[in-house]
Amino acid sequence: LAQPMATNPSNAAAAKLVAKRQKAEKAALRRIRKCMQPRECLKHVAVLLDDRIANDQRLGPSITGCLNGQQVVPLDADEQRLLPLPAIRWRRNVHALDPAAFADLAHDALPSSLAAASVEFEELESDSLLIMDGRQLVELIQQKRQSELSSLVFPEQLVSTNRWSPSLVVYDLELHITQSSRAAEGNALRAKMLANSDKPAAPPAKKPKASTADQVTRLQCEEAFVSLQLTRGVTVRVLEDPVQLGKLVYCLTKAIAERPFKAARLESVFSFHVGAGVGAGCRLEESADGGSPAGIDELWRCQLQCFPLVTAEVARTIMRAYPSPGHLIRAYAGCASAEEAVKLVADLQVCKGTGPLSTARRLGPELGKRIYAFYSSRDPNQVL
């Protein structure tokens, strides 16, 4: 009887240590993935609120009330000074595997806890939500300064040093459009009354703010939004209710928190295998006599059926005329023109049914063009 081989104690200890390391790594990765789950990810995202929004009696309570206990911290003071408009940003606590925790295997220096096996750091998201009062937009349009809207959304000092992907929210726009319209109508009525009066009217004690203002329409505001969307790719929303703004901030917070989980889910491999259909491929086995591998005909049929609307009957019709791709390519090479090459497949007759009720039809030029382009084109960007 053969004697069992002796196991080296040092090799067994090393294998045991490697298994222990792999187990610790898997546990740390499970903890990191748990932080990315939809129910857990909101705990690791903080909302950075501008002081101008937090101190606003309308916007501040509405936003914080809709966040449902979400962590809210003030936005950096230096960044607030660079922003012409009040902003809301997001900061994420990122958990990653610490390679240094598993580097030393010789001394069994594995991390004692899952927290020690991962590293945590803060990352500022590029997304930002800028809040603009409708009065400010109306004044820009009245003063013919719509072009300055882009510089308000994209401040140069901040954009040059940070990742910046802004969205713009304009609130109370309808209110200020209505006010500008009423002011313009009042000015027109006052000018008409002064023109029709016999004696000059006494100068007003105080000049009204909107005395020289033009009427601002919603169309002018939408034109400014469209220009900003087309030139800078900024998403613009118009909200009239502070509660709607609070709900929007909560939805954006949830979407930003779940972004890594959704990205990882899209990159993951499928948990199933493709069935044995057209796209499953064919297995080739070498023949005993050194001839063509077994299954080569099935492979040629599967390749033909990869073309759109090619059924098994159509594929067999082409195979009877051209038993292999080499036969078809040599036939294409012998043609004098592309039109003649297309007709090689287009003129083939496919029969359907048997007996007196059988019918035959041509494969047609569309399929002929696709197959000819596939086997003869040298342009990698050509669309079949």
Q: For the domain with range 279-376, which CATH number is right: 1.10.150.670, 3.30.70.580, 3.40.50.2000, 3.30.110.40?
A: 1.10.150.670
DSSP class of residue 112 equals S
First CA to last CA distance, the chain: 67
Residue 100 Cα distances to 16, 27, 109, angstroms: 20, 16, 10
- Note the pLDDT of residue 198: 52
pLDDT of residue 210: 43
pLDDT at 251: 94
Chain centroid to CA 62: 29
What is residue 278's predicted lDDT score, i.e. its pLDDT?
Answer: 46
Q: Could you give the 3-state DSSP secondary structure of residue 93? A: strand
Does this model's pTM top 0.95? My answer is: no
Look up the CATH number of domain 11-201+210-267: 3.40.50.10130
pLDDT of residue 289: 66
**Each residue's pLDDT tens digit in the chain (384 positions)?**
445 545 566 678 778 777 777 777 787 778 888 888 888 888 889 999 999 999 998 899 999 999 888 899 999 998 899 899 999 999 998 877 776 666 554 445 555 554 556 677 888 998 999 999 988 888 888 888 888 888 888 888 777 666 788 999 998 888 878 877 666 666 666 676 677 665 555 555 554 444 445 678 888 889 999 999 998 889 999 998 889 999 999 999 999 999 988 888 877 665 554 555 545 556 666 666 666 666 788 888 888 988 888 888 899 999 999 998 999 999 999 999 999 999 999 999 988 877 777 788 889 899 999 999 998 888 888 776
Cα–Cα distance measured from residue 333 to residue 329, given in angstroms and rounded to the nearest whole number: 6
In sequence order, the 6+-apart residues with CB closer than 8 A to the CB of 143 are none
Residue-level pLDDT at 360: 85
Cα 258 to Cα 34, 40, 65, 87, 268, distances in angstroms: 12, 9, 21, 21, 16
Distance, in Å, from the CA atom of 367 to the CA atom of 183, rounded to the nearest integer, reads 69
166: which 2 tokens? 């802004």
**Domain range annotation of the chain:** 11-201+210-267, 279-376
